[in-house]
Chains A and B, each alone.
Chain A
Amino acid sequence: MIMTLLDIVTAGLLLGGIYALIAVGLSIQYGVARVLNIAHGEFIMLGAFITWTLFTILGINPLLSLAVSGPTLFILGLLLYRTLLASLRERSASPEAFEGNSMLACFGLIFILQNAAILIWSADIKGYSFWSFPIKLGGVAFPANRLVTLGFASLFCLVFYFFLARTRMGKAIRAAAMDAEIAGLMGVDINRVLALCFGFGALMAGLGGSLISISYNIQPTMGLEYTMIALIVIVLGGLGSILGSFLGGLFLGLAGSIVTYIEPGLSIVAYYAIFMLLLLIKPQGLLGQ
């Protein structure tokens, strides 16, 4: 009994680490840059395929390829903001209008990224084996790759958290999250901060994707599900709260693992049930104001 419980909790945390990382990425994009990036899952997919390509064709260690997928997606996010979203922001009459327009633009990005990926990598399901040997953890054996995934996901979240809390740039980002206009008046280069935040979100999607590809199968249409999970997590944690997204991710991972243990095939349904309950009882989320 205790073994099974430990088993479920550890499996939940392993899943939750990934959820936390990708949700933190989405959270920073929506919370600061005000872009509800529903193409987030497609950025994750790109990160996953970069790692897959580097591993299967060039034989590069997937953990080393994090240093490629992260920066590549960061630059992609930055460029997208600088070209597309910044000019949308200028054209939009109000912040609400920008929220709607940028969401629809990201909607277009889903089509573009997904189908570009199908053209490059074909629509087939892909996977590879890396560090799948078992490691004993409190009597329960886990594939090493899942543990590595959790370790890296937590590390990235932690680094980002300290970046926000301790650095000058982090302070500017937090100021912009509260009120972009006032922050701009206080001398924050607001366009740069918003672009950076969108870039950071894409960076985390890329890292998340790379880590996902180590443990799970990937395909160009995988993004939808991850976007959905990330959306539920950021509502769960409270819109705009980075810490909330992190805890929400772990929580949803745990919930998913419990449901999968009782009734596999219902995990998505369970996520939605949590989402519904949350909207009924506490729509501001666990840590939202």
Chain B
Amino acid sequence: MAGVPDMTRKLYVTILLVFALVLLAALPLYGSAYLVIFVSRIFMYVILAVSWTMFSGPTGNISLAAAAFFGAGVYTTAVSGPSLPLVAVAVIGGLVSFFLAFVVGALTLRLKGIYFVMFTFGLVELMLNFILWWEVNITGTTGRVVASVSNATVFYFLLSIILILCLVDSLLRRSPYGLALRALGTSEEAAAHLGVNVTAVKVMVFALSAFFMGAAGAVMAPRWTYIDHKIAFNPNLSFVPVLMAIFGGISKPYGPIIGATIFTCMEEFLITRLPYHYMLIFGVIMVFSILYLPGGLVDFVQRVRAQLLERKHADS
């Protein structure tokens, strides 16, 4: 590939991507129901991992609250019932999470990063407890039945969210906001001196990333048919996307996508065979990738390739 000019290579990659996307979009037409559900699950994790990286990647402020925003979306669907179309529910679910993240961000992001980590850590537990108390004392019912939606509908909604998310993410990277975000990730003080309103930028991007998590939750909700606080606010959904993004590599936009895909496949393979071992294995992988794969898989592959190229040059 080294001999191919850059432009041609870019064209090849684009054609290949479009082809893969068309093949993927047509999956409900030729794939089995199992495959459609499985790929939807990959989509869900991709959305969580990519939107997590959107904020935590450039800023270095590690959010542990993905499950809270996802759960807020799930609950939106559960509460609004079958009266609204799924598009509306997805947008409302996203907005609920956006608002929640905005409040959390405004509260914590003006302080040192450590407060943000600490605050987001328990947010899922807070939501879970609050909703349980609300349902027991105010509405008097716990758990709700959600009208089911066809597999293909969930699939296409999630795929659309991913496309919008990737578009927004790449626009953000090129926009002044994205530049400001990267600048403050390197040094908040320096960015502030250059005229960046550090807190405002961080809060907005954090809320934006939560919007997509909430929308994904709202769309995924019909998958469970029955929803209670424990199903909606599952702490593992805070942890697993972080692991996926870090394993894949947060330096490149496609790193979290690769990480999410690999881990969902692993989860699918292991979940029935070794239901408890697999989470343990995830933990071991997490520790090892922090120790030995600091830039994630993407960075590792790049380094290996660079080394191979160097050797080739040395040979010739």
* A100 at the B interface (CB under 8 A): yes
7 contacting pairs across A/B (C-beta < 8 A): A103-B117, A105-B286, A105-B291, A108-B282, A111-B286, A112-B283, A224-B125
- B290 contact from A108, A110, A225, A280, Cβ within 8 A: A108
Interface code A234-266, partner B: CB below 8 Å = 1, 0 otherwise?
A: 010001000000000000000000000001011
Interface assignment of A18: CB less than 8 Å from any CB of chain B: no
The A interface is mostly helix, strand or loop, or mixed, namely helix
Question: Looking at the complex, which one of B130, B239, B243, B280 makes contact with A116 (CB distance below 8 Å)?
Answer: B280
Is A118 an interface position by the 8 A CB rule?
yes
- Determine if B118 and A235 form an interchain contact, defined as CB atoms under 8 angstroms apart: yes
Interface size (A, Cβ < 8 Å)? 44
Contact bitstring A6-47, B, C-beta under 8 A = 1, else 0: 000000000000000000000000000000101000000000
Residues A115 and B121 in contact, CB atoms below 8 Å apart: no
- Chain B contacts for A100, CB-based, 8 A: 60, 62
A105 touches B287 (CB 8 A): yes
Identify which of residues 101-127 in chain A touch chain B, using a CB-to-CB cut-off of 8 Å. 101, 103-105, 107-116, 118-119
Query: Which of B's residues lie within 8 Å of A, judged by CB?
Result: 60, 62, 64, 107-108, 111, 114-115, 117-119, 121-122, 125-126, 129-130, 132-133, 136-137, 235, 239, 242-243, 246, 276-277, 279-280, 282-287, 290-291, 294
A269 touches B129 (CB 8 A): yes
Q: Indicate if the CB atoms of A228 and B125 lie closer than 8 Å.
A: yes
CB of B5, distance to nearest CB on chain A (Å): 36
Complex Cα spacing A263 to B129, Å: 13
- Within the complex, which residue of B126, B133, B287, B294 is in contact with A108, where a contact is CB–CB below 8 Å? B287
**A231 contact set on B, CB distance < 8 A:** 118, 121-122
A189 to B153, CA, bound (A): 62
- Option from A112, A115, A119, A275 in Cβ contact (under 8 Å) with B287: A112
**Which of A55-63, A68-76, A84-92, A210-218 sits within the interface?**
A84-92
